C-alpha cells in the first residue's frame, strides 16, 4: 500500500470513529430523554397513563428512537452496504419496511408534540395565592415544559413568587406566567423542529431515489440543497433557542443530529453512489 493509500485509509478510519461516536452520543441522549419523559409522566399522569395519551407523555422518546433507527438505515444504505447488495430484494424490502415503520413513529411523535402544545393552551388564571393551603388538591408545579415538582409542606411556600398562577384543571398542573409562556414557546419549538426534520428526510429520500436511478442533475441538486440549507438553518435556530432558554439537553441533541445528518449527506451525495462497490461489503 502506498503512503497516499495509507493516509487515505487512516483518514477514513478516523472519519468512521468520529461518525459512530456521534451515533453513540445520540443513543445516550435517548436514554436521558426516556428518563426525563418517565419522570414527567409520573407527575402529570399520577392517576395512571392511558394508552391513548402515551404518545403525549413519551413523544420525545418515541421520536428519538425512531430517528436513531432511521439514521442507522440511512448509514447502511449510503456507507456500509454496496449498491449490488442493496439491489437484493430481501435486503431492500427489509430496509424499506423498517424505514416505513420509523416514519410512522416519527409522524406519531409529531402528533404527540401537537397534543402537548395544545395542552399548554389549557391553563387558565387561578385564584390560588397560597399553595400551602391546597396541599390536599394534589397539585403539581410545572418548573418547565418537562420538569415538575410535587407540592408539599416543605416547598409550597418557596414555589410561589407572588406572580399570577395558572392552572390546568385536567392534569392539576399549576405554574406562574413566566414559566407558562416559556413552556408554550418550548412546545412550539418542538413542533417546528419535528416538522422540519420530516421535511428534510423526505428530501433526502427523494434525492437518494433519484441518484439510485441515475436521474439526478446539477440543477435538481442545487434546488434540493437550497431547500435543505433553509431547513437546516431553521433547525439551527431551534437549537439556539433551546440553548438560550437553558435547555441544554435539547440544544446538545439538536447539534448532534445536525452533525449526524451532515455525515449522511457526505455519504449519500458525494461518495456513496460514485465509489467502487469493491471498497465496501460485498455479497
Helix (H), strand (E) at residue 143: strand 140-144
Number of structural domains in the chain:
2
Both 113 and 55 in one domain: the answer is: yes
Domain assignment of residue 257, given as a range = 13-121+184-279
61 lies in some domain: yes
Both 117 and 29 in one domain: the answer is: yes
Beta bridge partner(s), residue 148: 142
pLDDT value for 195: 95
pLDDT value for 212: 67
**CA-CA distance, 185 to 50, in Å (whole number)?**
26
Both 18 and 34 in one domain: the answer is: yes
pLDDT value for 201: 86
7 lies in some domain: no
Contact 147, 139 (CB under 8 A): no
Contacts of 84 (CB under 8 A, 6+ apart): 277, 282, 283
3 lies in some domain: no
Q: Per-residue pLDDT tens, the chain, 283 aa: give them.
A: 454 444 445 557 777 888 889 999 999 999 999 999 888 888 777 666 777 677 778 888 999 999 999 988 888 877 777 777 877 888 888 988 999 999 999 999 999 899 999 999 999 999 888 888 888 888 899 989 988 888 888 888 888 777 789 999 888 899 999 999 999 999 999 999 999 999 988 888 887 777 666 666 778 878 888 898 899 999 999 999 999 998 999 999 999 999 888 877 776 655 444 544 444 444 4
Whether the model clears a pTM of 0.85, i.e. scores above it, the answer is no
90 lies in some domain: yes
8 lies in some domain: no
**CA-CA distance, 200 to 229, in Å (whole number)?**
10
pLDDT value for 273: 44
Closest CA to 196 of 169, 232, 167: 232
Show the cell assigned to 228.
435543505
Both 151 and 171 in one domain: the answer is: yes
Both 31 and 106 in one domain: the answer is: yes
- Residue 66 vs residues 184, 203, 207: alpha-carbon distances, Å: 25, 18, 21
Closest CA to 281 of 72, 16, 76, 95: 76
Both 229 and 91 in one domain: the answer is: yes
Give the number of other Cβ atoms within 10 Å of residue 238's Cβ: 20
Final residue before a domain boundary, out of 144, 163, 179: 179
Both 251 and 191 in one domain: the answer is: yes
Amino acid at each position: 500500500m502506498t503512503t497516499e493509500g495509507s493516509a487515505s485509509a487512516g483518514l477514513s478510519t478516523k472519519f468512521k470513529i468520529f461518525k459512530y461516536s456521534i451515533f453513540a452520543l445520540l443513543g445516550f441522549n435517548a436514554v436521558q430523554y426516556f428518563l426525563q419523559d418517565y419522570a414527567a409522566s409520573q407527575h402529570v399522569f399520577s392517576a395512571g397513563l392511558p394508552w391513548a395519551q402515551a404518545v403525549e407523555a413519551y413523544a420525545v422518546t418515541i421520536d428519538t428512537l425512531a430517528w436513531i433507527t432511521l439514521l442507522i438505515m440511512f448509514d447502511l444504505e449510503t456507507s456500509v452496504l454496496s449498491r449490488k447488495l442493496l439491489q437484493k430484494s430481501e435486503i431492500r424490502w427489509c430496509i424499506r419496511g423498517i424505514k416505513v415503520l420509523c416514519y410512522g413513529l416519527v409522524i406519531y411523535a409529531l402528533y404527540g408534540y401537537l397534543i402537548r402544545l395544545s395542552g399548554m393552551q389549557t391553563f387558565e388564571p387561578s385564584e390560588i395565592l397560597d399553595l400551602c393551603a391546597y396541599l390536599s388538591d394534589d397539585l403539581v408545579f410545572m418548573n418547565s415544559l418537562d420538569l415538575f415538582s410535587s407540592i408539599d409542606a416543605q416547598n409550597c411556600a418557596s414555589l410561589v413568587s407572588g406572580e399570577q398562577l395558572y392552572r390546568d384543571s385536567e392534569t392539576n398542573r399549576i405554574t406562574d406566567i413566566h414559566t407558562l409562556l416559556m413552556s408554550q414557546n418550548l412546545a412550539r419549538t418542538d413542533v417546528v423542529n419535528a416538522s422540519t426534520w420530516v421535511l428534510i428526510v423526505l428530501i433526502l429520500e427523494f434525492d437518494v431515489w433519484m441518484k439510485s436511478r441515475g436521474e439526478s442533475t446539477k440543477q435538481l441538486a442545487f434546488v434540493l440543497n437550497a431547500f435543505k440549507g433553509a431547513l437546516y438553518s431553521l433547525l439551527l435556530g431551534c437549537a439556539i433557542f433551546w440553548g438560550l432558554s437553558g435547555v441544554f439537553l435539547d440544544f446538545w441533541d439538536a447539534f448532534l443530529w445536525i452533525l449526524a445528518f451532515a455525515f449522511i449527506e457526505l455519504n449519500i451525495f458525494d461518495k456513496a453512489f460514485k465509489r467502487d462497490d469493491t471498497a465496501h461489503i460485498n455479497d
